[in-house]
Structure 1
Amino acid sequence: MTYLEGTILDVVCILLGTAISFVPFCRRLLALSGFAQLALGAGCIVAGLWWAWFKSGTSFLETAVNFLVVLGSLVIGRILGRLVGIQRLSNRLGASARRWFESVPQDTVRRRSVGFKTAIIVFCVSPMAVFGPVAEGACEWKLPMIFKSIMDGFAALGFGVTYGWVIALACFALFPWQGTIALLSYELALSLESTAVIQVFNVTCGLLLCFSGVVVLGIRRVELANFLPALVIAPLARLLIG
């Protein structure tokens, strides 16, 4: 089950980050979070563009068709995402998590409850928690999940200092969520048996990872969640084209 390796790594990084948060000396690793964010953002952009280009086709015509399909799907997906309000929902959940983190309850039980909900939102609701497993399941590309695992590990370290061991419990929601997406993507890729569809998945996931890098570095505000419908639209469009 190689399509679950990225999710397993994500769980391990979250557990490790939570465990390290209990060691006072190791908490100094939080000082590296800024450098890690810079490195991961740049890595996302470079790796995303590389994968989208070199895995897009074996000929110029094939590459051009696949890019046109994906770009059209991203435009349509963004329109659908705005109509449905995917980014608005993601922003509201993120704002809630931020408020909870900034005003930590003194009551232990309530603090653990807030910490658990915050961790689930941060680890499971981000766009990378969707297209990362898709990339691993459909394209056998693990790099998005590796980037996500590192970011989640640092987040778990920061949350663990504030909320304690309850952050680790978010893995019970993370694993079935990402694992199910990866499994469905893997089975879909097997059932289609279409090289062109896999190439379209490659381009879509590569560009989404590149967009993620832009967001992480703060270069420009990108409504990343609104592009997620393109993960469905692009392969369907490529199947129709043939």
Structure 2
Amino acid sequence: MFATYFNCLAVILGSLLGLLLRDRIKPAYQEVVFASAGLVTLVIGVSMALKTGSYLILLFSVVLGGFVGYALHIEEGLLALGAFAQKRLGKKDGNNEQKASNFALGFLNASILFCSGAMSVVGSIQAGTTGDYQLIMVKSVMDGCMAIILSAAYGPGVIASALFVLVYQGFFTLTGSFISPILGEGGINELSAVGGILLLMIGFGLLDIKKFKTGNFCRQ
């Protein structure tokens, strides 16, 4: 679990640095932050989605996951959780509702970004079965850098995504010897491809092109 703990620490440190920079970024330059994060997220999403071995499977996974997610109202639940966390942890003011929404969006988008790639699954399985931490260490550095950008855009909700990283990657680390033969290389690629679609949704939202309820698609 050492590699997963290191990944969480990288996310937390990156988020804290982003929050410090956020206070120094003039409102006029915030568009630059969102545009940069959105474009990079789109590039990552496209590269991941193209790894699919079957576009029919990819389409079926996204549609089925979306149906289930909308039926369970996952996105609304996350936004409600963000509002609750903001009320408990933040100061009460006129912008509290907007802050709660940003908290939830930061947590949601960062969690998807940090856990949607094949590196999360493969790296965690390698760490748990062979003790090879190299892939997760590389991913940790990448996540830390993206956490700076996302927290500068969304705020402290990105820090909370470290908990999701801990649970998600910890699961594959502890159960890697059982999960790896079931998924296989093809299964991991398809999992990564679906994650790429989710990142495209996030990217479009950051660029203010189209707002998707990305959380509702996280049941694939």
Please say whether Structure 1 and Structure 2 have the same fold, judged by a TM-score greater than 0.5: yes
The change in CA–CA distance for 1:215 and 1:117 in structure 2 (over 3 A counts) is closer
Deviation at 1:71, TM superposition (A): 1.6
How much identity, in percent, do the aligned residues show?
17
Deviations 1:202-236 (A, max 9, x none): 11111111111011111112121110001xxxxxx
The residue number in structure 1 matching 2:47 is 50
The residue number in structure 2 matching 1:81 is 69
The change in CA–CA distance for 1:216 and 1:31 in structure 2 (over 3 A counts) is same
CA distance in 1 between counterparts of 2:86 and 2:163 reads 25
CA distance in 2 between counterparts of 1:201 and 1:145 reads 22
Deviation at 1:44, TM superposition (A): 1.0
1:70 paired to 2:38: no
The change in CA–CA distance for 1:18 and 1:127 in structure 2 (over 3 A counts) is closer
Question: Which of 162, 165, 171 is the aligned partner of 1:175?
Answer: 162
The residue number in structure 1 matching 2:24 is 27
The residue number in structure 2 matching 1:152 is 151
Q: Are 1:77 and 1:227, in contact at CA under 8 Å, matched by a contact in 2? A: yes
The residue number in structure 1 matching 2:18 is 17
Q: Are 1:133 and 1:145, in contact at CA under 8 Å, matched by a contact in 2? A: no
The change in CA–CA distance for 1:188 and 1:68 in structure 2 (over 3 A counts) is farther
Deviation at 1:93, TM superposition (A): 4.7
Report the AA paired with residue 146 of structure 2.
F
The residue number in structure 2 matching 1:90 is 78
Deviation at 1:155, TM superposition (A): 3.7
Give the TM-score, by structure 2 length.
0.69
CA distance in 1 between counterparts of 2:174 and 2:196 reads 20
The change in CA–CA distance for 1:85 and 1:188 in structure 2 (over 3 A counts) is same
Secondary structure of the residue aligned to 1:27 is coil
Q: Are 2:46 and 2:196, in contact at CA under 8 Å, matched by a contact in 1? A: yes
The residue number in structure 2 matching 1:203 is 193
Q: Are 1:6 and 1:133, in contact at CA under 8 Å, matched by a contact in 2? A: no
Deviation at 1:28, TM superposition (A): 3.7
The change in CA–CA distance for 1:183 and 1:29 in structure 2 (over 3 A counts) is farther
CA distance in 2 between counterparts of 1:180 and 1:221 reads 27
Q: Are 1:44 and 1:212, in contact at CA under 8 Å, matched by a contact in 2? A: yes
Give the TM-score, by structure 1 length.
0.63
Deviations 1:112-142 (A, max 9, x none): xx9x978864543x14414523534214484
CA distance in 2 between counterparts of 1:145 and 1:204 reads 23
Deviation at 1:192, TM superposition (A): 2.5
CA distance in 2 between counterparts of 1:226 and 1:180 reads 19
Q: Are 1:51 and 1:202, in contact at CA under 8 Å, matched by a contact in 2? A: yes
The residue number in structure 2 matching 1:133 is 115
Aligned residues: 197
CA distance in 2 between counterparts of 1:15 and 1:139 reads 27
Q: CA RMSD in A?
A: 3.9
CA distance in 1 between counterparts of 2:106 and 2:145 reads 13
Deviations 1:122-175 (A, max 9, x none): 543x1441452353421448457743442114444xxxxxxxxxx69x95x553
Structure 1: gaps of 5 or more residues = 57-62, 106-110, 157-166, 231-242
Q: Larger Cα Rg: Structure 1 or Structure 2? A: 1
Q: Are 2:69 and 2:218, in contact at CA under 8 Å, matched by a contact in 1? A: yes
Q: Are 1:44 and 1:147, in contact at CA under 8 Å, matched by a contact in 2? A: no
CA distance in 2 between counterparts of 1:188 and 1:180 reads 12
